[in-house]
Amino acid sequence: MPTAFITGPAGGLGSAIADALAPTHTLFLGGRPSARLDELAARLGATTWPLDLADTDSIPTVVEPIDELDVLIHNAGASFPGRVAESTVDEWRTTMEVNVIGAVALTLALLPALRAARGHVVFINSGAGLRASPGLASYTASKFALRGFADSLRDDEPALRVTSIHPGRIATPMQEELVAYEGGQYDPSRLLSPETVAKFVAGAVNAPPDAHVREIIIRPRR
């Protein structure tokens, strides 16, 4: 089976993506070691890879054994609710390190393996990567930057497929934290489910080889 490396697999969306791809791909689950990650790997017959996107110096060594890779899915992310005046430099630094610099470092480390397979890189972006989202200053900036990196990768590596996925609000703990910051009432029934977004990811990954799905925008139906 083709291979797929997923970052942030232990979270709600990450585990849903792993479930969606398990029937068609051999999974490499890249994240910080945890019982939840081990349980997911055991259930899906996947391999875990100890990955810290904030520690970019360690990334090449971690993924060195991978010499061919069909799919790389950038799902891991950091978010600090807050408007510009409420944010701190440390929050901006962490957000950029994980959401942008970590994704760049991992892509560069795996680029030879992706080229060997004429592979596919999928970026789980956000609606905030298309339009600024109030109360998410550093997160919005990071997602705009991530979209720019995806577009540059697509232009510079024409043998690869590169997809940016921009979901609206998803029923995850990160969204629950944001709603609490906004002073609203968290109602997951009004949000996209992780499983719904994962189906779009799987659809793009499993698209026929003559198709290049470049961008997907998903919003909750109301």
Q: Which domains are assigned to the chain?
A: 3-218 (3.40.50.720)
Q: Are 51 and 31 in contact (CB under 8 A)?
A: yes
Count CB-CB contacts under 10 A for residue 68: 15
Diameter of the chain by CA atoms? Answer: 49
Burial of 1-19, coded b for 16+ CB within 10 Å and e otherwise, reads ebbbbbbbbbbbbbbbbbb
The answer to whether 58 and 52 are in contact (CB under 8 A) is yes
Cβ-defined contacts of 44-50 (< 8 Å, 24+): 44/18, 44/19, 46/18, 46/22, 49/5
Is 139 catalytic? The answer is: yes
* Mean pLDDT of all residues belonging to the chain: 93
Say yes or no to pLDDT of 182 above 90.
no
| Of residues 144, 215, 176, 211, the one with CA closest to residue 11 | 176
Report the alpha-carbon distance of residue 207 to residue 115 in Å, rounded. 18
- Nearest Cα to 162, choosing from 151, 175, 171? 151
What pLDDT sits at residue 216? 98
Tell me which residue has tokens 């990811």. Answer: 201
* Distance separating alpha carbons of residues 150 and 135, to the nearest angstrom: 24
Model confidence at 94, in pLDDT bands (50, 70, 90)?
A: very high
Strand segments, DSSP code E, in 12-82 are: 26-31, 47-50, 71-74
pLDDT tens-digit series, residues 103-117: 999 999 999 999 999
Mean pLDDT calculated for residue range 202-209: 97
Q: Tens of pLDDT along 22-50?
A: 999 999 999 999 999 999 999 999 999 99
Count of CB atoms within 10 A of residue 98's CB? 20
Q: 147-158 pLDDT, tens per residue? A: 999 999 999 999
Residue 214 makes CB contacts below 8 A (sequence gap 6+) with 154, 162, 163, 164
**Which listed residue (139, 143, 197, 202) is catalytic?**
139
Strands 215-218 and 47-50: unpaired
- pLDDT higher than threshold 90 for residue 82: no
> 16 or 183, which is more confident?
16
